[in-house]
Every structure is written in structure tokens, then in C-alpha cells.
Amino acid sequence: MEIQKNIAGDSYELLVSGRVDGEGANRLDEGILAILFNKNKDNQKEPKTIYVNLTSATFLCSAGVRALMQHWRTMRNRQGQLLVTRPSPEAAEVLKMAGLYEQLVERI
């Protein structure tokens, strides 16, 4: 799994490609934590929105869903938001089965 990070002001995007399996879920968790707790490093602003783009995600395990929900709550408590954008069919199906699609996926 690979993650690319894009920053635009106080919005951050993580572009995830490949399998978000056990190891991938840990990497996703670490990527989001780096955004949440490394403010002021490299002049980064505190995040208001974190977008997790799952267009190229070929698999999403329950640990990946847990990481998304955990950080969704953190962002909500900070008056911000974490949104999943453009989930692949595989990721969308997992989010729907977990009953989290409407809560996590950005409405376009």
C-alpha cells in the first residue's frame, strides 16, 4: 500500500492506493496521526479537514475502517472533519456493510 499526502492550507489529502490490510491499516493510522499531531512542523497548519481518497484502494479491512472511525471522531471533537473521498467499489462495499458509508463518505 502507498500513501501520498497533499496539503492545501488547512486541508490535507491522503491518496491511498493498494490493499488496506493489517499492515496498510497501520500505515494509514500513522499517516493520519502525523497530520493530527505534527502541526507547526514544516509550517503545517492544524487540519480542519482530512480527506482520505480511496479511489485506488483495492481492499479495506476492518482495521482500516477502525482507523477511519477513530480519527473521524478525533476530527469531530476538534471541530473539523475527516471524509473518505471517491471510494473504490471494494472500499465502498465494506463501508456500506459496516453501516458507515453515509457517515464517512463525502457527498458530492
Cα angle 93, 35, 23; round to 5: 50
Q: What is the pLDDT of residue 42?
A: 59
25 grid coordinates: 491499516
What is the domain count for the chain? 1
Do residues 53 and 15 touch, judged by C-beta distance below 8 A? yes
Query: Could you list the residue range(s) of the whole structural domain that residue 90 is in?
Result: 2-104
pTM to 2 decimals?
0.93
Give, for all 108 residues of the chain, the pLDDT tens digit.
999 999 999 999 999 999 999 999 999 999 999 999 875 565 667 899 999 999 999 999 999 999 999 999 999 999 999 999 999 999 999 999 999 999 999 987
Provide the grid cell at 87. 471510494
CATH number of 13's domain: 3.30.750.24
| CA distance linking residue 108 with residue 105, whole number of Å | 9
Predicted pLDDT of residue 45: 78
> 83: which strand partners?
51
58 is written with which cell numbers?
483495492
Q: What is the pLDDT of residue 25?
A: 97
